[in-house]
């Protein structure tokens, strides 16, 4: 694994299903002479093949991709490129995704909302052996750790059921309020000041957590819970 130096750049593989994001991220990282994007991939299968071929120093991995999610692809990627460090770069602020990524061997968990300079700094820290977690996720990391520590022992009493609404993050609750009002993804994105693609991903998370298949069903749940 390369050190971050002026003479030996860190070789990076970018994995994300959005072509424009991959290109933009590649252009951003290329501004720094100590970083070199050697390849990219749009899904987990392609990422595994490219990782085996290129043997990068660092893999920047999105979580929500078609087919296999990033956190589920971690074991195969680490096997394909054993020396590479894998850092999640995602829109997901889900505590379960964070915990799964760190359990799967990711060296960090960053959000796509971060600034470019902060991302470069995080890469440098990761390549020096540090574990890097987005500041916004720190409380959730502590909560995930406490949850694991408090898990019942084998043959102990079963955990109390968790309401689907309680599984929603604050951002997902905002998205659900918009759905309940009948707002479109574009309207929700404008209201919250985030990208429409980010809203789309959050909507998918909301539907999955509420165990419903449509926005109408989600709106019904929200109304029944008094969230609208």
Domains contained in the chain, CATH given: 10-141 (3.40.50.2300), 164-224 (1.10.10.10)
Give tens-digit pLDDT for 126-160. 898 877 888 888 776 666 555 554 555 555 555 54
Q: Distances in Å between the alpha carbon of 200 and those of 66, 86, 179, 205, 222?
A: 14, 25, 11, 9, 18
Count CB-CB contacts under 10 A for residue 166. 8
Give tens-digit pLDDT for 186-221. 899 999 999 889 899 888 888 888 877 777 777 777
3-state secondary structure of 223: helix
The DSSP H or E segment spanning 35 is strand 35-41
Give tens-digit pLDDT for 30-66. 999 999 999 999 999 999 999 999 999 999 999 988 8
């Amino acid at each position: 694994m390369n050190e971050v130096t002026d003479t030996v750049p860190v070789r990076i593989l970018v994995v994300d299903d959005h072509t424009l994001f991959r290109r933009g991220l590649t252009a951003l990282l290329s501004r720094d002479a100590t970083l070199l994007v050697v390849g990219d991939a749009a899904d987990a299968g392609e990422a595994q093949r490219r990782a085996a071929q290129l043997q990068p120093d660092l893999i920047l991995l999105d979580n929500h991709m078609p087919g296999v999610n990033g956190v589920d692809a971690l074991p195969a990627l680490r096997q394909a490129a054993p020396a590479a460090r894998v850092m999640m770069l995602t829109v997901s602020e889900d505590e379960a995704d964070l915990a799964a990524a760190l359990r799967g061997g990711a060296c960090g968990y960053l959000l796509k909302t971060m600034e470019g300079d902060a991302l470069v700094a995080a890469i440098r820290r990761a390549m020096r052996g540090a574990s890097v977690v987005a500041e916004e996720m720190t409380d959730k990391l502590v909560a995930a750790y406490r949850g694991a520590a408090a898990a019942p022992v084998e043959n102990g009493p079963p955990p109390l059921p968790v309401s689907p609404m309680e599984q929603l993050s604050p951002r997902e609750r905002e998205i659900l309020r918009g759905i309940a009002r009948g707002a479109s993804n574009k309207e929700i994105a404008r209201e919250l000041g985030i990208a429409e693609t980010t809203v789309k991903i959050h909507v998918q998370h909301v539907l999955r957590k509420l165990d419903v298949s449509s926005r109408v069903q989600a709106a019904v749940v929200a109304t029944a819970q008094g969230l609208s």
